[in-house]
A and B are shown apart, each in its own frame.
Chain A
């Protein structure tokens, strides 16, 4: 598959998208022909969608990142991963999900997205062709039917031997 055409961002995004994009770029770098975080979403369009859904979950981690100088974002992330692993995982998951929800990544992955795929006429039957259900039917019922007798309930229905054993009808 050919590499998608990517447009580099020409301007800095507003906060907190800019910080999130920077973090995304640390988490997912371009390599081996695979685009990095910012290349797949230069204008932060998908990131903005992510923020609209996950904003309240990200607030604590954004606050935590904001408590220290901006220059050493990578160091701060490493610290977060070390000291607050669940907070780090939350941030990572949202950003990785954002990255994997961009059109260039879908093209790269050969993923068509959620599009209608109504079954063709006869498709259900086709999947069952060739007698695939025959062995199941040949083995017969596998439920237990209970009848009340004088002493309580007794299983009278069919029951096949448990895994790996040949046993006579037990219960």
Chain B
């Protein structure tokens, strides 16, 4: 075996024709890292191909003066704005919502806010309960132990006892302070008689898993310069590498290979110079997220699978869900130091999470408070309220908002529609010349009504908490990075892409483990559920390894 263990650049890749990894994982984000860590610990040789690179904590701009300026370029959440070689562009002219992501070791967890709520039992049963969408083939009991384990493996800071959830194991760290603005909002929620609770975040309040305690820079969504946020480049990859995994960077997979029996045999990938390499494996696991995964399955079409891999149902890329996310800003007279983190959430609410038929729409939303940012963020918030975006009055407008406001953001449930989908753009390509994904997404009338209803309730809560004005953003400037549903799981191969263990119905040694497999979207931040499901699948892969069919 010549495949080197450890982490290195794709240009250094060497292997002999009969070298074969036990498992090839494509994508090193939350799901890929979770599975890599578990399988490596079980003694399997995992090779992970990641198109991005390692990012060092000191590269993040969050504790430097340039922080807000850096959002205009390489630290933007939007790959189309960053335009890095490691990114692929997304064609979004037919999309009401522009998806965001990050492409590096750690994937989206490098940029995420690390809000760490779970799905609720009802999220898995929308069809049975409300006659919409579909039930999942699994339910909350299947995920609960894996959520508990991931709270340890990532590092969750939270407060036990939240009445919005069935009992769960005590998180390994206490919750973060809810800060002045969280407490202010909570007082309003108490006046309304509505649920709230200190929110769970995968952000350290004590040293854990290579993380150091948070110092509240409040810049989580652009990378934590303090090394406090549970991004899997810190929490998972060092352990997987210690257990013998191989992580190849700047390795962009162009195609998953299959043999004449229709089994996956590995992948073809390109290094940063465009040189082509091959890796062979017994099992292929796709963890490239809800856009990258269908893109790769479609790009891998061959004579045996002319419509793309795993696509006999025609559902690869279909049923894209993005969780439309409105937000509101409460502005207060008193100073609240509201640039202070984590960001992350301080308090959350599940008061209006469930469907109530009397509202005239289905699904609900979770709410959470976040810091409202620095001077430029304040200028943008004020501009949304009709205040000057430049010139006379600009500075007064900034003063009103800066440090005197909070963000209330609302993750809304999103129905899966086959008409919302990802396919391959016929013209646009990434820096390797591979077709870019094209995103077709229309926000439906249910979402419009749901958002209006929640903004009305949010306004009531903010006013009750003492806000002197409330500014609505019916759509948040950035989508929350939830990329879901495009390779859904199910028991019926004609209506789903993978089975309940993420295994392709068509190709029995090909697995999908990211948010693509979601049947419904939930109405919360999704990564703890993506990772819990990935861990569940990893356990299954280990316990059924002896029966796994592999290529000759």
Contact = CB atoms under 8 A, between A and B. Distances in A.
B391 interface: yes
B522 interface: no
B403 A124 contact: no
A57 interface: yes
A103 to B, nearest CB: 7
Given A53-B74, A100-B398, A119-B176, A142 B390 contact: no
Contacts of B74: 53
Given A146-B125, A162-B358, A117 B174 contact: no
Contacts of B163: 136-137, 139-143
Interface in B366-402: 374-376, 379-380, 389-392, 394-395, 398-399, 402
B395 A108 contact: yes
A101 B374 CA distance: 9
A142 B71 CA distance: 39
A144 B398 contact: no
A127 B179 CA distance: 7
A73 interface: no
Interface stretch (B214-222, B259-267, B282-290): B214-222
Interface residues of A, number: 65
Considering residues A29, A34, A126, A133, which has the most beta carbons from chain B within 10 angstroms of its beta carbon?
Answer: A133
A94 B68 CA distance: 10
B175 interface: yes
A34 B395 contact: yes
A123 interface: yes
A95 B399 CA distance: 18
B466 interface: no
Interface in B175-220: 175-179, 182-183, 186-187, 190, 193, 195-198, 205, 213-219
B350 A142 contact: yes
Contact of A144 (B135, B354, B391): B354
Interface string A143-166: 111100000110101010011010
A135 interface: yes
A74 to B, nearest CB: 12
B68 A97 contact: yes
Nearest to A152: B128
Nearest to B358: A162
Contacts of B390: 27-28, 92, 95-96
Contacts of A28: 390-391, 394
Given A54-B72, A146-B122, A171-B129, A31 B183 contact: no
B43 interface: no
A69 to B, nearest CB: 23
B165 to A, nearest CB: 6
A93 B402 CA distance: 17
A101 B122 contact: no
Contacts of A152: 128
Nearest to A105: B375
Interface string A101-145: 101011011110111111100011011100011011101111111
Residue among B69, B139, B165, B394 with max Cβ neighbours from chain A (10 Å): B69
Interface stretch (B59-67, B89-97, B440-448): B59-67
B69 A119 contact: no
A49 interface: yes
A56 interface: yes
A21 interface: no
A116 B66 contact: no
B398 A143 contact: no
A115 B341 CA distance: 11
B339 interface: yes
Given A28-B390, A124-B174, A135-B193, A118 B121 contact: no
Contacts of A50: 69, 72
Interface string B441-484: 00000000000000001000000000000000000000000000
Nearest to B191: A135
Interface in B480-511: none
Contact of B197 (A53, A114, A136): A136
Contacts of B376: 93, 96-97, 100-101
B161 interface: yes
Q: Which of A126, A143, A153, A159 has the most CB of B within 10 A?
A: A143
A42 B457 CA distance: 47
Contacts of B238: none
Nearest to A167: B358
B358 A57 contact: no
Given A100-B376, A101-B376, A124-B176, A53 B73 contact: yes
B87 to A, nearest CB: 13
B217 A124 contact: no
Interface string B527-538: 000000000000
B81 A53 contact: no
A60 B453 CA distance: 40
Contact of A114 (B63, B122, B403): B63
19 contacts: A29-B391, A29-B392, A50-B72, A53-B73, A101-B69, A103-B65, A108-B395, A109-B398, A109-B399, A114-B67, A118-B213, A119-B216, A127-B177, A127-B182, A132-B186, A135-B190, A144-B121, A163-B457, A171-B129
Interface of A: 27-29, 31, 34, 46, 49-50, 52-57, 89, 92-98, 100-101, 103, 105-106, 108-111, 113-119, 123-124, 126-128, 132-133, 135-137, 139-146, 152-153, 155, 157, 159, 162-163, 165, 171
5 residue pairs, one from A and one from B, having the closest CB atoms: A116-B215, A53-B73, A54-B72, A100-B375, A153-B128
Given A96-B394, A143-B350, A163-B356, 9 more contacts: A89-B389, A92-B390, A101-B376, A110-B403, A114-B339, A127-B179, A135-B190, A135-B193, A144-B122
